[in-house]
Amino acid sequence: MNIVAWSPKVSGTFLPTINVTEDKKGYTIKAKLPGMARKDVKITVNNNILTIAAEKSQRIEEKKKNSYYRESRHAAFSRSMSLYDPVDKAGMKSKFEHGFLTVILPKKNGGHEGAAHETITS
């Protein structure tokens, strides 16, 4: 496999499991993102560096006659990896289902290009 390395940035204690496979057609990236929603996740490819990032905040507040309860939670992460072979950003596909993200990046022939962002479609 020609992948250089993942570079994690973590806020809190959330560091998801990410698996990468490569074949002659491209890369398949699978990430386990429990508690995250589709809208919380951003996927970027820039200069052949894939970045998967997510951020989620939650606030719980309960007021009762003789008590008050408030709790705030925040989870964020960003993981980047260099891809050895140039990828076809126009052919990039992603799917988010039940807390699992799958990103498919087909390889292409040619040089490096600018940035691309993916909107998760299903």
Q: What is the pLDDT of residues 106-115, one digit of tens each?
A: 998 744 455 5
What pLDDT shows up at residue 108? Answer: 84
- In sequence order, the 6+-apart residues with CB closer than 8 A to the CB of 64 are none
Q: What is the pTM of this model?
A: 0.71
What pLDDT shows up at residue 96? Answer: 93
What pLDDT shows up at residue 60? Answer: 86
Task: Report in angstroms the alpha-carbon separations of 39 from 20, 22, 23, 61.
Answer: 22, 27, 29, 23
Over the chain (122 residues), the average pLDDT of each successive run of 10 is 48 74 90 89 90 88 87 85 88 92 86 54 54
What pLDDT shows up at residue 115? Answer: 53
Asked whether 53 and 118 are in contact (CB, 8 A), the reply is: no
Q: Write the CATH number of the domain with boundaries 3-118.
A: 2.60.40.790
Q: What residues does each domain of the chain span?
A: 3-118
Measured distance CA(122)–CA(65) in Å, rounded: 44
